[in-house]
Structure 1
Amino acid sequence: MEVAVFGIGGKVGVLLVPALERAGHEVVDARGGGIDRCDVAVDFTRPDAVADNAERCFQSGLPLVIGTSGFDLEAIDAGAKKNRIPCFHAPNFAQGAVLMMRFAEEAARILPSAEIVELHHETKLDAPSGTAKATAARMGTNPPIHSVRLPGLVAHQEVIFGGPGETLTIRHDTTSRDAFVPGVLLALEKVRDLPPGLTIGLDALL
């Protein structure tokens, strides 16, 4: 499979490219030409670059996996449906983060009082994170979200629940961006089988 990579030199891109090659895929730098011949594309860039990158994919009939967060979900969904292109986005591609969100959703049914603390590296542009917003949406209790941006962090989140005489903390720590790679590879393999539009969440593929 030929994969066009937007953000090939970024923090995730530099890990993703060798993983794609080890899996037998051919990598194409999406900054240049040649994406028309690709089978699928992946975007790990910046929120303000996603719309233009997606439009290039739509014009090329190229299914797209988006790992960037903070972009306009509704606009991408509308464009993908208009052009009948399947797109996929996960707030977090780490499998442990998916479990954390599942557990938080379950806990919120019993302990509705909760707050979310998300912590990321200082260069992350969006706050709150996509993972925190997705977690809050799944919990359905409108929990407050606190964002921390500091050097030395990668991606971390804890959901703290409180009840009479007890607290419960559900936490996930990404200590290396290597944690994202298996989820991205899975999405690239399955995105072409998804319906036109934007499918959200790794749960949809597991």
Structure 2
Amino acid sequence: LPGSVGEGGLPLFGSVAEAVAAVAPQVAIDFTVAAAARANLPALVEHGVAPVIGTTGLTEEELDRLDQQAKERGVPLFMAPNFAIGAVLLMRFAAEAARLFDYAEVIEYHHENKRDAPSGTALKTVERMLAARGGKFHDTPVDEHELLERSRGGADGFVHVHSVRMPGFVADQDVLFGGPGETLRLSHRSIDRSCFMPGVVLAAKRVLGLEPGLTVGLDSLL
């Protein structure tokens, strides 16, 4: 409730406007859900506060509108699909391998409470792989028939993406590549959510030095 105190003695506010009036922040960190971020992020930008965004599930159209608003207001925003250094390196290595292999699939694993699928990390990984190749991967050479609907997962550029949701996972990802007589598996495992904190702190320190508008990807700060 507004005016109350939350865990660790931190104050709770009923709106972005109330929080900005009370605290006057320069930077705000948003790790919520898409439904909340759709309201909070434009309000932060309108008040001149630079958001660091870890929330996934926002559409490209929503991000484009946010980018335009931020440029008009002269406010920098930073967003990363994953703040773990290892996950950023995995995406970089996957883009490198994508130039040399013609078949690829992605498996991402998250806890049972994650709402969006596939993960933002998986989508960004595939995007970078396709960009590195300059086009699509090869499709399987047979006419596949799924005995269970969507058993081959969703696909972008013939990269099939599979989402696992169950207790025991934080945020893991495998990127599989196949070629004649060999496979390559790139893996990242998040053992604890503390792995995200160095990236979040780095982004919070650096966001005010970025150009107005939306910057995406932790590797742009490394």
Q: TM-score range by the shorter chain?
A: 0.7 to 0.9
Alignment correspondent of 1:147: 163
Q: Deviations over 1:116-175 (max 9, x none)?
A: 001101111111110000000110142111111111111000000000110000000111
Q: In the alignment, does 2:50 pair up with 1:34?
A: no
Question: Cα distance, 1:197 vs. partner?
Answer: 1.0
**Aligned residue runs from structure 1 range 45-56, under 5 A:** 45-56=32-43
Q: Distance in 2 between matches of 1:50 and 1:160?
A: 32
Percent identity (aligned): 50
Distance 1:131 1:30, change over 3 A: farther
- Who is 1:6 aligned against? none
Please, which of 50, 53, 66 is the counterpart of residue 63 of structure 1?
50
Structure 1 runs of 4+ aligned residues shifted over 6 Å read: none
Aligned match for 1:132, one of 107, 114, 122 = 122
Change (3 A) 1:28 1:67: farther
Which residue type is aligned with residue 148 of structure 1? V
Between the aligned partners of 2:27 and 2:58, the Cα distance in structure 1 is 20
Alignment of 1:184-199 (within 5 A): 184-199=200-215
Gap regions ≥5 residues in structure 2: 1-5, 131-135, 137-156
Quick one: distance in 2 between partners of 1:29 and 1:191? 24
Of 179-188 and 51-60, more deviation after overlay is shown by 51-60
Q: Under a length normalisation based on structure 2, what TM-score does the superposition of the two structures give?
A: 0.78
Change (3 A) 1:153 1:98: same
Letter in 1 for 2:26: D
The 2-side partners of 1:130 and 1:76 are apart by 17
Task: Find the counterpart in structure 1 of residue 79 from structure 2.
Answer: 89
Q: 114, 121, 126: which one pairs with 2:104?
A: 114
Whichever residue aligns with residue 85 of structure 2, its letter is Q
The gaps in structure 1 that reach 5 residues or longer are 1-8, 18-26
Flag the structure with larger Rg: 2
Over the aligned positions, Cα root-mean-square deviation in angstroms equals 1.9
Aligned counterpart in structure 2 of residue 101 of structure 1, from 69, 91, 95 = 91
Deviation at 1:81, TM superposition (A): 1.9
Paired with 1:68 and 1:191, the residues of 2 have a C-alpha distance of 16
Distance in 2 (CA, whole Å) between partners of 1:74 and 1:131 is 19
Q: Structure 1 length as normaliser, TM-score?
A: 0.83
1:78 aligned residue (59, 68, 82): 68
- Structure 1 residue identity aligned to 2:188: H
Contact 1:91 1:201 in 2 (8 A): yes
Give the total of aligned pairs.
Answer: 184
Structure 2: distance between partners of 1:152 and 1:34: 35
Other-structure match for 1:43: 30
